């Protein structure tokens, strides 16, 4: 799709990765407190039982390794979910999707090479936060498994950059277009004149 200057206004909408990382740390506290508080309210204060039981170095190594592996798998899934969500609306489907890592920040990314309607771009931007973040966090509350809730908390906070970009686009018309920026976190918005 071609956007002529006569028909569309082009606006840059990007975020700073440094700010996203700092905001993620700040957001972690209230998200952790809210979900942990709700979990404790419904399921009792057994969260510290893990630390009251046999606390061996082997247990710490095993559980730490499992958590690390779960996070790595979650990172890959996060970007894959972006790709699938964007591909649903891209004219060339999955051929319009690129994956990579922003080397200075060790930040993985998914890039859609085609413009998408704002509503489709928002869907693609927010889907990982819902599937990997809110989904497990709420599921853990219902089934009483704090580890599931905690993984959801981690992936809600991990999606902070996506949430920041969505916030930038929230006031845009859903029928206008967004095109991923080729090298920064964010996009160009093409507003119909």
**Is residue 1 included in any domain, yes or no?**
no
**Mean pLDDT throughout 75-101?**
97
CA within 13 Å, CB half, 124: 31
Provide the domain count of the chain: 1
- In this predicted structure, the answer to whether residue 108 has a pLDDT above a threshold of 70 is yes
Give the pair of three-digit tokens for residue 165: 């970009």
**Is residue 163 included in any domain, yes or no?**
yes
What backbone torsions phi and psi does residue 173 show, to the nearest 5 degrees?
-70, 130
**Is residue 3 included in any domain, yes or no?**
no
**Is residue 61 included in any domain, yes or no?**
yes
**Is residue 155 included in any domain, yes or no?**
yes
- In this predicted structure, the answer to whether residue 128 has a pLDDT above a threshold of 70 is yes
Give the pair of three-digit tokens for residue 21: 């990382």
| Closest by CA position to 110, among listed 49, 48, 161 | 161
For the segment 2-36, what is each residue's pLDDT rounded down to a tens digit?
788 889 999 999 999 889 989 999 999 999 999 99
**Is residue 68 included in any domain, yes or no?**
yes
| Closest by CA position to 120, among listed 89, 145, 98 | 89
Q: 186 falls in which pLDDT band (50, 70, 90)? A: very high
For the segment 41-81, what is each residue's pLDDT rounded down to a tens digit?
998 877 766 666 767 888 889 888 998 999 999 999 999 99
Query: What is the number of helices (H) and of strands (E) in the chain?
Result: 7, 6
Q: Would you state the pLDDT for residue 52?
A: 67
Q: Whole domain around residue 163: which residue ranges?
A: 8-192
**Is residue 161 included in any domain, yes or no?**
yes
């Amino acid at each position: 799709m071609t956007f002529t200057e006569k028909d569309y206004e082009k606006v840059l909408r990007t975020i700073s990765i440094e700010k996203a990382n700092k905001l993620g740390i700040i957001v972690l506290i209230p998200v952790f407190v809210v979900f942990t508080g709700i979990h404790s309210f419904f399921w009792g204060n057994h969260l510290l039982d893990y630390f009251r039981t046999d606390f061996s170095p082997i247990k710490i190594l095993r559980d730490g390794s499992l958590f690390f592996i779960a996070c790595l798998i979650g990172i890959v899934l996060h970007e894959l979910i972006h790709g699938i969500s964007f591909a649903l609306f891209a004219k060339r489907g999955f051929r319009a999707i690129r994956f990579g890592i922003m080397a200075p920040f060790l930040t993985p990314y998914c890039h859609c090479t085609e413009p998408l309607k704002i509503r489709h771009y928002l869907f693609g931007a927010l889907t990982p936060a819902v599937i990997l973040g809110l989904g497990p966090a709420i599921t853990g509350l219902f089934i009483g498994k704090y580890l599931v809730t905690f993984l959801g908390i981690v992936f809600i906070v991990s999606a902070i950059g996506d949430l920041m970009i969505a916030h930038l686009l929230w006031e845009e018309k859903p029928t206008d277009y967004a095109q991923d920026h080729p090298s920064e976190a964010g996009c160009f918005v093409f507003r119909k004149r």
